[in-house]
Structures are given as structure tokens and as C-alpha cells.
Amino acid sequence: MTMITAPTFPRLFAGIEDGPSYQAHLGRFGDRPSLLGRKSEGLQKLHQLLDDAPLIGRGGGGIASSLKLAFLATSSKPIIVINAMEGEPASSKGVALAMVAPHLVLDGAIILAEALKSTQIIIAIADDDTRTTKGFQRAIGERREAVTLEISHPPAHYVTGEESALAHWLSEGSALPTFRPVKPSFVKIGRRAALVHNLETLAHLALLARFGAGWYRAKGTSQSPGTTLITVSGAVRSPSTYEWTYGRTLADLLDEAGGLTEGFGGALFGGYGGTWVGADALSLPLDHESLRAAGATLGPGIVIVLPKHSCPVAELTRVVEWMANESVGQCGPCVYGLPALAKDLRTLGWSRSTKMQFERLLAHLIEVDGRGACRHPDGVVRLIRSSLAVFSRHFDDHLRSGPCAAVNAPTVMTLPKNRRR
């Protein structure tokens, strides 16, 4: 095998110059390490590697990959699911990886399959995502593998990307999430256990298996090693998906994205179930420990920048209305709670509201929080509460003076049309 020099930076996007073909992929990274052999030996080796890194999942839950592997260690031939659903509308990392590094994603899944003696890998891609589909179809066509590689097309809904909902769709044809108070916990497709990983996690795994934990930890911070993909949108000159080294600041990221189109009015971290931050966060390092201390998270890797002269109340309302229409409608907090929150916010944004109406919003937040079968309503509650803290002056102005001049300004949020279930 030809000796390959490990990439320094970028890593996942190292192929952005010479394309996504399998031949170019092998030229960049060399052959995929094999874990064929005794299951116990392969699992032990892989578990140690994931622990030494450590590799934290990039799907938004922040679960260590070694925990998921250990949880499935005794399963008989579990199904490996590559989660490329991209349920967060503001994320485009799935398309980016499909266009630049699909073979890294497939390598990571095959490494897991070999360790767990699995024979089936499913790539779950939303039914309206033609670019990601074409990228993986092309990549699968270039390979000959012992494991079965197949693409499945669940419906493009926000909740479908949640792993229990995705597993339920693959098994039963309906994307209903399962209440799981402790994670990781088993999800099944039919009678077989399933291991669901975000496609970025698997791409990192493919590099980690080639170059080792020491190389992986050479970037980032001691508690947040490596790089991560962040999709930046909103009031920046070059919205795109960037491969980012943990530990650099939000201000650095905005510079990387071409700078602001106008003044900084705040940013949303983690997507539509995430948290808002204000101008004091510009110096905040984007790593797990710093974000956790600030009460925030990057989630699946999303930063949306709000223009200074926009209306945060209006932008929040639009997102909450969209999220209310994306629920699966299987429990009260989604069926009744989210529409009630959306109505409260629209009243505050577009009418002359009273203190009593504002207090009704606060009461509804308490009623909804923690009572859903999944975390979808909890994410909306978190989003609203963070906005009340960061944009308190805007809410006060609306209560005192009614709708502001910017309430009907064009949105910077990506809000695709809600589809009927």
C-alpha cells in the first residue's frame, strides 16, 4: 500500500480540490483499515480508538461514539444506518459531504459494520434531497463491498431525522419518535437492533481509524478535539458549510464566512431547537466546554446570524410556527402546546399586547417543557426561553409600543414549506 500523509487541515474537506471520486479518495487517504477477524478483538480495538479520541457524535445529541458502540456490542448483526436526513433546514453539511467526501462516510459505516459483523448499511436521505442522493449513488456505484449498501428515502420532515423516529419509519413506514429518557438506548428495525449515526460522525471515524487518536487530537482543544462542520447562514456575505477547528471564536467564524452584511443582531446556535446568543458571544470559543458554560450548543453544527436591524420577535415567531407544523402530532405538547406558543408569539409580535398575554406565554412554556414523547417540544421551549433572555429589550419594546418597524422585514431563516403528513 502506498504511504499516505495524513491531512492537516482541512480534513473532511481535503478533497475539495480534486473531487469526490473513489480513486481520488484512495489517493488522499489510502485504503480503509480492516477490522475483519474475531468480533471481540475488532470491537475492543475500535472502542479504544473512539475513547482515546474521543469522538463525539455530530448529530446534535453530543453522545460519545464509544457508548453507542458498547451498547450494540452484544447485538447479532445490527443494521448500520447513516443518518443523512438533514432535518434542520439551516444545515447543508449533508449535501457538502455527499459532494466532497461521500467515501469517507461510507468507509466509517463499513468499519462499524465489520466490527459488529453487520451485513447491511442503510443510507437514509430525505425524499426531496436529490443532491445528497446523487452524491451517494455515484459513490456506491464506484465500490464493491461485502456489505450491502442501500439508500432509503424517508419523508422530509424535521422529526424524521431523530434516530428513534427514523428507525420506526424504516421498520413500520411511519416516523414516530419513541420516548427514551436515557440515551443511548436500543432502537430496532424490525427485529434487529440498529446503530444510527450522523454522516459527519462516520466521516470522522474513517479518518480516525486511518491516522489514530493522536492525529485526531492535534486539532481543537483538550476537551473538544478535532474539527467539525458548521453551516453558517443569515447576515453573512458567504453563507456556506465550513470545516471548523474547535476552540476558535464566533467572531473568527463570521470572518471566515466573509464578514457581516450589516451589524450583528445576535446568532442562533444549534438550529431551530437551539439557543440564541447576543453580542457578548462574539468572543466565545466554539467548543463543547465553552458553549456548555454559556448554556449553548452547536447541535448538529448550525449558526444563523441575525442582522442588527431585524426583529428577533418576528424571526422567533416564524420559526416556532414552522416547528409547530413539523410535529408528528402524537402527544399533547405538540398537538396543543406548540400551536399555543406560536399564537402567543404572533400576538406579541404583531399586536399591542398586555402583560397578561406575556405571562400566558410563560405559563405555556412551563406546561410544554419536558412533557413530550420526544424532545421536539423541549427544543422549541429552549429556543423561546433563550430569546426572552437575549432579546429582552425587544420584547419589552413590543409590550410597551406594539409592533416595531422591522416586524415584516424579510426573514433570514430557512423555512421550507411544511408538508402534510
Q: 169-183, 225-239, 320-334, 372-386: which has the minimum mean pLDDT?
A: 169-183
Closest-CA residue to 203 (of 241, 155, 240, 156): 241
Cα 291 to Cα 193: distance, rounded to the nearest angstrom: 33
Cα 240 to Cα 303: distance, rounded to the nearest angstrom: 10
Cα 326 to Cα 365: distance, rounded to the nearest angstrom: 18
- What class does CATH assign to 229-307? alpha beta
User: What was the pLDDT predicted at 420?
Assistant: 64
Closest-CA residue to 200 (of 148, 250, 134, 132): 132
Beta bridge partners, 197, equal 82
Share of the chain above pLDDT 70, in %: 97
Taken in order 327, 329, 331, 336, the sign of the CA dihedral is positive
Q: Given a cut of 90, is residue 149 above it in pLDDT? A: yes
User: What was the pLDDT predicted at 4?
Assistant: 61
Within the chain, all domains assigned CATH 3.10.20.600 are found at 229-307
Q: Given a cut of 80, is residue 181 above it in pLDDT? A: no
How far is residue 374 from each of residues 4, 162, 203, 329, measured CA to CA in Å?
44, 9, 27, 11
- Give the three-class secondary structure for 225: strand
How far is residue 254 from each of residues 73, 271, 383, measured CA to CA in Å?
42, 17, 22
Cα 323 to Cα 321: distance, rounded to the nearest angstrom: 5
Q: Which residues contact 383 (CB under 8 A, 6 or more apart)?
A: 268, 272, 273, 274, 275, 276, 316, 319, 320, 323
Q: Given a cut of 50, is residue 223 above it in pLDDT? A: yes
Q: Given a cut of 60, is residue 121 above it in pLDDT? A: yes
User: What was the pLDDT predicted at 1?
Assistant: 33
Other CB atoms closer than 10 Å to residue 41's CB: what's the count? Answer: 11
C-beta of residue 144 within 8 angstroms of C-beta of residue 154: no
- Looking at this protein, which amino acid is placed at residue 261? T
Cα 314 to Cα 342: distance, rounded to the nearest angstrom: 11
Within the chain, all domains assigned CATH 1.20.1440.230 are found at 312-401
- Give the three-class secondary structure for 379: helix
Give the phi and the psi of residue 301 in degrees, each rounded to 5: 95, 65
Topology of domain 312-401 in CATH is de novo design (two linked rop proteins) (1.20.1440)
Within the chain, all domains assigned CATH 3.40.50.11540 are found at 22-216
- Averaged pLDDT for residues 293-312: 96
Q: What is the DSSP string of 297-350?
A: --TTTEEEEEETTS-HHHHHHHHHHHHHHTS---SHIIIIIHHHHHHHHHHHHH
Over its C-alpha atoms, the chain yields an Rg (Å, rounded) of: 22
Share of the chain above pLDDT 90, in %: 83
User: What 8-state DSSP symbol labels residue 161?
Assistant: G
Q: How confident is the model at residue 2 (pLDDT cuts 50, 70, 90)?
A: very low
Cα 371 to Cα 330: distance, rounded to the nearest angstrom: 12
CATH, range 22-216: 3.40.50.11540
Closest-CA residue to 344 (of 324, 362, 368): 362
Q: How confident is the model at residue 421 (pLDDT cuts 50, 70, 90)?
A: low
